[in-house]
Amino acid sequence: MRNKLTNELAVCGWNAVIALGETHPERINRLFFREDRLNLLTKLCKYMAERKRPYKICDDEELEQVCKSTRHQGVAAMIDEPVVEGLSREDLDTWAGEGKTGLLLFSVGNDHNLGAIVRTAAFFDVSYVVLSDTDEAARLTTSAYRVAEGGMEHVTFRKLKNPLGFLKSASESLVIIGADHRARLRIRDLKTVVGKHRAGKRLGIALVMGNEETGISPEIKEYCTSLVRIPGSGVMESLNVAQAAALFLHEIYEL
Chain segment 130-155, per-residue pLDDT in tens: 998 766 556 899 999 999 999 999 99
For the segment 22-50, the average pLDDT, to the nearest whole number, is 97
Residues 192 and 246 in one domain: yes
Residues 176 and 72 in one domain: no
Q: Which pTM does this prediction carry?
A: 0.93
Residues 96 and 203 in one domain: yes
Residues 150 and 61 in one domain: no
Residues 56 and 102 in one domain: no
Least confident of 32-46, 74-88, 104-118: 104-118
Number of domains in the chain: 2
Residues 101 and 133 in one domain: yes
Residues 219 and 116 in one domain: yes
Torsion of CA 237, 239, 245, 251, to 10 degrees: -70
Name the E strands within 34-134: 55-57, 75-80, 101-105, 128-132
Residues 102 and 57 in one domain: no
Q: What is the pLDDT of residue 58?
A: 96
Helix, strand, or coil (residue 228): strand
Give me the sheet containing 185-186, strands edge to edge: 156-160, 128-132, 101-105, 204-209, 174-179, 226-229, 185-186
Containing structural domain, residue 118: 89-253
CATH of the domain at 31: 3.30.1330.30
Considering only residues 104 and 200, tell me which one the structure prediction assigns the higher pLDDT. 104
Residues 239 and 217 in one domain: yes
For the segment 220-240, the average pLDDT, to the nearest whole number, is 91
Residues 117 and 210 in one domain: yes
Residues 120 and 188 in one domain: yes
For the segment 12-30, the average pLDDT, to the nearest whole number, is 97
Contact 209, 247 (CB under 8 A): no
Q: What is the pLDDT of residue 134?
A: 64
Helix, strand, or coil (residue 227): strand
Domain boundary among 80, 107, 122: 80
Q: What is the pLDDT of residue 237?
A: 77
Residues 231 and 149 in one domain: yes
pLDDT band with cut points at 50, 70 and 90 for residue 1:
low
